[in-house]
């Protein structure tokens, strides 16, 4: 699985001008299930994200995880992270998992984060979404598991 992890001061996701998910200070996660990914990958990705020490402690150093900082998470499915741009100018997405598998794995990541104690909201799989965020830092990390 692949994810872009962004530390944010706030983030929200809307469908048809209705906000369907949000987080205050925390994480915006763009998550992509790749061909061959399994539940094990989803659990590993969530664990890695939940324990990433990217939040500032009282001394201003990035020593705290989302769990330590009491941060929330907004998880958005993002199949375009599987883009192959090696041939021409039109990206190919054949490395992305099939939609039914991708949806289950994306929701599993969110469930694992919630089970870790991180308040978690999601976007809507397959919907045309608008994501609004303020990246804090900026702090943006690419993860592959």
Q: Write out the catalytic residue numbers.
A: 78-80
Tokens linked to 91: 């990206």
DSSP state string for 19-73:
EEEEESSEEEEEEE-BTT--HHHHHHHHHHHHH---EE-TTS-EEE-HHHHT-EE
Residue 79 per-residue DSSP state:
G
């Amino acid at each position: 699985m692949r994810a872009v992890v962004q530390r944010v001061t706030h983030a929200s996701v809307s469908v048809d001008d209705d906000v369907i998910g949000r987080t205050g200070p925390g994480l915006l996660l763009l998550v992509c299930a790749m061909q061959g990914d399994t539940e094990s990958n989803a659990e590993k990705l969530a664990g890695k994200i939940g324990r990433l020490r990217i939040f500032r402690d009282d001394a201003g150093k990035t020593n705290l995880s989302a769990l330590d900082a009491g941060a929330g998470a907004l998880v958005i499915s993002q199949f375009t992270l599987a883009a192959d741009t090696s041939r021409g100018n039109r990206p190919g997405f054949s490395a992305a998992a099939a939609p039914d598998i991708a949806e289950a794995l994306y929701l599993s990541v969110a469930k694992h984060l919630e089970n870790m104690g991180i308040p978690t909201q999601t976007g809507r799989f397959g919907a045309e979404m608008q994501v609004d965020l303020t990246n804090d830092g900026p702090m943006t990390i690419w993860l592959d598991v």
